[in-house]
A and B are shown apart, each in its own frame.
Chain A
Amino acid sequence: MIEAQGLTKRYGQTVAVDNLSFTVKPGKVTGFLGPNGAGKSTTMRMILGLDTPTAGDVRIDGQHYRDLHQPLTKIGALLDAKWVHPNRSARSHLAWMAASNKLPKSSVDKALEMVGLTSVAGKRAGAYSLGMSQRLGIAGALLGDPEILLFDEPVNGLDPEGIVWIRTFMQKLASEGRTVLVSSHLLSEMSLTAEELIVIGRGRLIAQSSTREFVDRASGTTVKVRTPQLDQLQGILQQQQVVTRIEDFEDQGKVLFAEGELTTDQIGETAAAHGIVLHELTLQRGSLEQAFMQMTGDSVQYHAHDELAHVADVNLPAPSGTEVAAGPKEDN
């Protein structure tokens, strides 16, 4: 278990991480989500004792990283695949890491085997492709067979094959009952791999919940309605305090979106009661992207969401074919 309490890191005037508290629960894949520059890497470096927090602290099973002996047997990490001497072979790289934690020589072969680098283990690491470097980094993280694993943006810059490999690998690690904390700015990736989410923006905690809860809570549900009596239905719904917006799509014409805790039943019944013809009535679950955009928009925008979002969305040119317009944009 990793616990952060009021974790803060300042670089001069810049606040990289701001009073961050969270818990990484054991035996699950937890996604550490935030846009670039949100403070994910800084937080991970503080977890590993590489950077010293300005305030607050972070512990691994109750201990500071700096007090751990043979930490590789407890927590493995891949922060940057390029942290390898380019003229040292993969095997030698892993060999010194193994020696540092008194791990047997066989652990090196085992780790190489797990990531599929055995045949190129003697080559210098500088000649590796990014995908291979990433595998070597993962081998290093797995060397001590740790129960906790930390990965910083592991799929960044990888080709599709590499991404699939990492994704499958991550799920395999979780199925073995390990605790995995993986950071990413790729939300779709997180929704595929992470069960739990810790979401940060500008160094602050935005949410910690299960991935499903996060999406539900943040974006709510949207009901899509196509009807020839668009304006009439909108008027009625607005009278019922339902937030609505209309978007014009090239292929489908004008579409009404009703947001909030609504069911298709309610809207269908309302329409029937007023004799309104419906061409389409569908429930749309928000995507992680949508949820993320809403949650990371600054706090003023977030609280004023109902009013502002309506205005903003009308002015927003919706790309044709996109069914759901984005929520308020982050204003930086």
Chain B
Amino acid sequence: MSVIQVERIKLFSTRSPWWCMVVAAVLTIGFAALTTAFLNSTEEQQATIFITQPGVQISQMVMMVMAALAVTTEYRFGTIRTSFQAVPQRTALLLGKTAVVSFLAGVIGLIAAFGGWLVGSLFAGSADLAIDTAAEWRLLAGEGLVFALSAVIAVAVGILIRQSAGAIAILILWPLLLENLVQLIPKVGDDLNKWAPFSNASSFINQGQDAGLAGDVGSNYALGPWWALLYFAGWAAVLLTIALFSASKRDA
């Protein structure tokens, strides 16, 4: 698959993706250190794996920014035209980019989640942080899937918006603000929130977790965890399809 190789060379031959990956991994691991390093012994008894994962969402945002930039910088510098000139089969090329970026985000998601857990286990040595339930495996390994799918959404938004600032604003405001703000709308607000894509991504991760020290994980879920993930994946697929369609029709 030459398009995979093309996008791999492109991604690793500039510095910003490296920075994004390092920052994403360090954030989660750093936050895990902060939340677990200063626990007293009674707190440690109550700590669960959940408390080692506070930085994950920020890391996820960073990887989404990287994914969007992988597209928007091509538009900004005009290399998208060189790309389409080299590979006129635009859909294939952009799918290659999506695959590379999404795979990488998935790997970083796993590093972040398990790195956070590892650091937490070191600092809170007497806490029970063993991964022994399916839900706990989902909490950690599931981040790989969530990161990968978020990156697909970010690539799609990047292709549609074609402009860094706009795409990044959308990708940050949407999960962090918009999906929570809709809750304020009377009557339909709760449903809107329940069926929002990123809510379902967190629903996949958080459902059935023992939050322990971290308090409540909420219980307002529309779907079971794996259905929630599938629903999130559906959003990613639809957005990517629209983006690919638009990119192959549009003038480059």
Contacts and interface: CB of A to CB of B under 8 A. Distances in A.
B77 A86 contact: yes
A84 B81 CA distance: 10
A89 interface: yes
Nearest to A68: B88
B73 A85 contact: yes
B9 A95 contact: yes
Contacts of A49: 84-85, 88
Using C-beta atoms within 8 Å of the partner chain, give the interface range for chain B: 20 to 34
Interface in B65-112: 73-74, 77-79, 81-89, 93
Interface in B7-36: 9-10, 13-16
Secondary structure type dominating chain B contacts: helix
A198 interface: no
Interface in A55-110: 65-68, 71-72, 77, 79-80, 82-89, 92-93, 95-97, 99-102
A96 B81 contact: no
A181 interface: no
Contact of B82 (A67, A99, A140): A140
B14 A99 contact: no
A41 to B, nearest CB: 11
Interface residues of A, number: 33
A80 B85 CA distance: 12
A227 B252 CA distance: 61
A99 B13 contact: no
Contacts of B85: 48-50, 71-72, 77
Given A71-B88, A83-B82, A99 B5 contact: yes
A66 B88 contact: yes
A86 B74 CA distance: 11
Contacts of B88: 49, 65-68, 71
Contact of B2 (A71, A84, A102): A102
B216 interface: no
B66 to A, nearest CB: 14
A45 B13 contact: no
A50 B15 CA distance: 28
A11 to B, nearest CB: 9
A57 B87 CA distance: 20
Interface string A272-303: 00000000000000000000000000000000
B132 interface: no
Contact of A89 (B3, B13, B89): B13
Contact of B249 (A50, A52, A97, A100): A52
Contact of A85 (B6, B14, B84, B89): B14
A45 B86 contact: no
Interface in A1-52: 45, 48-52
B81 A100 contact: no
A51 B252 contact: yes
Nearest to A66: B88
Contacts of B86: 71-72, 97, 100-101
Interface centre among A52, A65, A66, A85 (most CB of B within 10 A): A85
B2 A99 contact: yes
Contacts of A82: 77-78
B3 A85 contact: no
B132 to A, nearest CB: 45
A162 B15 CA distance: 31
A66 B91 CA distance: 11
B9 A92 contact: yes
Contacts of B83: 100
A177 to B, nearest CB: 23
Interface in A258-275: none
A100 B87 CA distance: 7
B251 A88 contact: no
Contacts of B3: 100
A85 B83 CA distance: 12
Given A80-B78, A85-B14, A50 B84 contact: yes
A301 to B, nearest CB: 33
Contacts of B2: 99-102
Given A49-B85, A71-B85, A83-B82, 12 more contacts: A45-B251, A67-B88, A71-B86, A71-B88, A72-B86, A80-B78, A83-B77, A84-B82, A85-B13, A100-B83, A101-B86, A101-B87
Top 7 nearest A-B pairs (CB, nearest first) are A83-B78, A92-B13, A96-B9, A100-B86, A51-B251, A50-B252, A100-B6
22 contacts: A45-B81, A45-B252, A48-B85, A50-B85, A50-B251, A50-B252, A51-B252, A66-B89, A71-B88, A72-B86, A82-B77, A84-B79, A88-B13, A88-B14, A92-B9, A96-B6, A96-B9, A100-B83, A100-B87, A101-B2, A101-B86, A140-B82
